[in-house]
Amino acid sequence: MALLPILRYPDPRLHKKAVPVAEIDDSIRKLVQDMAETMYEAPGIGLAATQVDVHKRVIVIDVSEDKSRLLTLINPMIVEQDGEQVCEEGCLSVPGIYDKVSRAENVRVRALDVDGKPIEFHADGLLAVCVQHEIDHLDGKVFVEHLSRLKQTRIRNKLEKQARITA
Ligand code: GNR
Ligand code: NI
């Protein structure tokens, strides 16, 4: 197991589009384990491979209270969605920034689990938000891109300044 470094906005690598996983081999299983460890340690409720600079369609999520329900989704897709909810979001790649984002309230998700078995489930509430947030990462999109250009510029300036101080 290993903790992986998390890319920070505005790193251009956060905008790469991840490719589907063709075969779930040992390297993918190791990636999933390391991503789960990294997510729990952060701590966060989700992590996309893009955030650890691996551009493959792999996400891990755990929205349970006691962090006992790891969900691994490989090649995830939303096959149905409806409704709208607004949630205050944060992101491990955009530390210290929280803002409201509007997303679908209900989603139907199709993916492979870590054994390569096809799974399909319904999600609402926070789990639905998290799945949409993570699939956005795989498509190279960070949650701040749902905000106004003005807010994006302010966030970018703030994090660039912070990076200069901590460097
Ligand atoms: O830990 C996280 N919390 C969170 C809160 C509200 C909406 C989305 C998230 S995902 C985030 C972890 C992360 O950055 N995943 O990509
Ligand atoms: Ni995120």
What pLDDT does residue 67 have? 95
The model carries a pTM of: 0.98
Q: What is the pLDDT of residues 98-116, one digit of tens each?
A: 999 999 999 999 999 999 9
**Strand positions, DSSP E, the chain:** 46-48, 58-61, 71-82, 85-89, 99-103, 106-112, 118-124
Residues marked active site are found at 134
Tell me which residue has its CA closest to atom 13 in ligand 1.
91
Look at residue 77 and tell me whether its pLDDT is greater than 90.
Answer: yes
Q: What is the pLDDT of residues 24-67, one digit of tens each?
A: 999 999 999 999 999 999 999 999 999 999 999 999 999 999 99
Which residue among 11, 91, 107 is best mutated to probe the pocket of ligand 1, counting the most ligand atoms within 8 A of its Cβ? 91
Q: What is the pLDDT of residues 4-31, one digit of tens each?
A: 999 999 999 999 999 999 999 999 999 9
Residue pair 51/134 in contact (Cβ under 8 Å)? The answer is no
Which residue among 130, 136, 138, 144 is best mutated to probe the pocket of ligand 1, counting the most ligand atoms within 8 A of its Cβ? 130
Residues with CB under 6 A from ligand 1: 44-48, 51, 87, 89-93, 129-130, 133-134, 137
Tokens describing residue 157: 């300036």
Helix (H) or strand (E) holding 133: helix 125-138
Closest ligand to the CA of 59 = 1
